[in-house]
Amino acid sequence: MDGRVDGAVADARAATAADAVRVLFGRRLAALPGTWLPTVTGPGRRVWRGPWHYWWHAHVLDALVDEALRDRAAGRHTEAADAVRRATALLRTLRLRNLGTFRNHYYDDMAWLALAAGRLDRLGHARGPIGVARAAERRLTPTLRLGDTPELGGGVYWNDTHDFKNVPASAPAALHFARTGDLDRARRVADWILARLVDSQTGLVLDGLRIGPDGSTALVADIYTYNQGTVLGLLVELGDPASLARAADLVAAVRAHLTTDPAGRVLRGHGGHDGGLFTGILVRYLALAAHSPGLDAAARATAVDLVTSTADALWTGRRSITPPPRSGMPSAPVPVFSPEPVEPADETRPRGIPVELSTQVQAWTILEAAASLRPSGRSPRMIA
């Protein structure tokens, strides 16, 4: 779709980003055989006692599904099976690290994992069932429904203290509801977001509504890239003409207000830590929109350009580091990527500073999305 980089090059870039995440962060959990759970900074050693972030690992799971799809599309079935096995190990290890459960206190975290597990489960249908993915979906879906209440006219709470309804929980939860056939619930949540949390000046999605002890509400008007992405994915998934028209408007708003280069083609980032994943999530759903034939052709072309231009900028700004040797074997250099696509990694992540998993999974996700639009196989692959 974009002549600047062909499918084979885009495929190789995504594979390089995937390998870099494994080298920099991939570890067993407490040295237990069959486990795999990336550290949150790299190069790193300890997982069990160190900090971890449940929802970051949900996006690692999503990226592994992307990798498996890319390998399958190119006919690399052994490599695809390896990605599926690693994804399955990650999901099992996440449950172990989370003290034997997939649930936690945050509906947005659980929604991200439900979406990724659902993709892994659907991926498994072509090669036999993947039991742990189905188990995650079945345990998380009824819990997510508990966050969807009529207070404030609808929407999903952010966590189980029930004092904040926001898009980071509502949109991915609604997308999960839609993908599991609960369309009425998904539409109710979508209608609530569109009625209460869209900025009339820019057309962008705001963050949420906070509830005070006295029942009063306060609008949280922050604008984040990932909220645009999940609402876009939800609208495309619903797929009716009105939703697709709103999706096209949202793509245009993203280009107008969330790009940072003079040409309006490269998306902005949100720095490190949790924000280091936000723009990767937006790009995932821009790629999904680009693959959606019901969407307006101009909106699809804009989505393609935003994805591929952002991926190109990230790749151009990468730098190499050489991890410490492991098991006495010398290490080869691997790339690290900037959390801000228009800024080189040398400027945003100075040498000697640990690399965050979130920012590198964001880059991996973006490069996988670009590869899905520049296929090296016979036809574009879907990433939903």
Q: Which domains does the chain have, with CATH numbers?
A: 7-147+224-255+268-373 (1.50.10.20)
pLDDT for the residue 2: 42
Q: In this structure, what token pair is assigned to residue 44?
A: 């790193």
Rounded (5°) CA angle 376-381-277: 100
pLDDT for the residue 374: 79
Q: Which residue has the tokens 């990468």?
A: 318
Helix or strand run (H / E) with residue 321: strand 319-321
pLDDT for the residue 46: 63
- The average pLDDT across 180-194 equals 98
- The average pLDDT across 132-156 equals 96
Of the CA atoms within 13 Å of residue 245, those in its CB half-sphere come to 3
- How do residues 83-137 score in pLDDT, each as one tens digit? 999 999 999 999 999 999 999 999 999 999 999 999 999 987 545 556 999 999 9
Q: Which residue has the tokens 């879907």?
A: 382
- How do residues 124-133 score in pLDDT, each as one tens digit? 754 555 699 9
Percentage of the chain surpassing pLDDT 70? Answer: 91
- The average pLDDT across 355-372 equals 97
215 confidence band (pLDDT: 50, 70, 90): confident
